[in-house]
Amino acid sequence: MRIILAFGLAFALAGCASLSKDECLSGNWDEIGFRDGTNGKTSAFLQRHVKACEKTGVVPVQSVSEQGRQRGLPAYCVPSKAYSEGRNGRALSAVCPAAQIPALQAAHSVGVQYHEYTEEINELKSRIQDIGSEIIAEQDVCQRTLLVLESQSLTHQISILERRRAKVSAF
């Protein structure tokens, strides 16, 4: 049992590394920086790469990585990416030029609305499943009827939320 837990913990911690051993050894810091930029990572994110590459003895080349990151940032600093970040429940990274912030925040806000509608729909669907189990177990006909009515009401609420979500499903 301890061996399984140890492997599980090691696997979970490996998932936290910002780079794989092969990425560290290949040393393509321009490409790694570019990827970081397109994902909205700050220049401080390089420290995670330093830590990830410690065991290989490789030290990231900060200047090359930063040049790549700067090249990647324009792909992150667009309304469609800001919308996508919000839609996926992620915050907008503070890496974009100040002049672009209002448009990015507006797009992000719409994405956040989509995410919130989705979360609420999922919660209601989960409650409907719970009610289904309660209906099966309930002996009292009146209580069962109330549960059916509650389930129908929640289904109607889901319908409303899905229509609202559809209005913010693209940016």
Mention every residue, 6+ apart, whose C-beta is less than 8 A from residue 11.
none
Distance of CA 82 to the CA centre of its chain: 12
Q: Which residue has the tokens 């970040």?
A: 85
Q: Which two tokens stand for residue 3?
A: 């061996």
Distance of CA 45 to the CA centre of its chain: 17
In our burial notation (b when 16+ CB lie closer than 10 A, e otherwise), range 52-72 reads: bbeeeebebbeebbbbbbeeb
Per-residue pLDDT of the chain (171 residues; tens, 9 = 90+): 444 434 343 333 344 578 888 888 888 899 999 999 999 999 999 999 999 898 889 898 899 999 999 999 999 999 999 999 999 999 999 999 999 999 999 999 999 999 999 999 999 999 999 999 999 999 999 999 999 999 999 999 999 999 999 999 987
State the pTM of this model. 0.79
Please say whether the beta carbons of 34 and 72 come within 8 A: yes
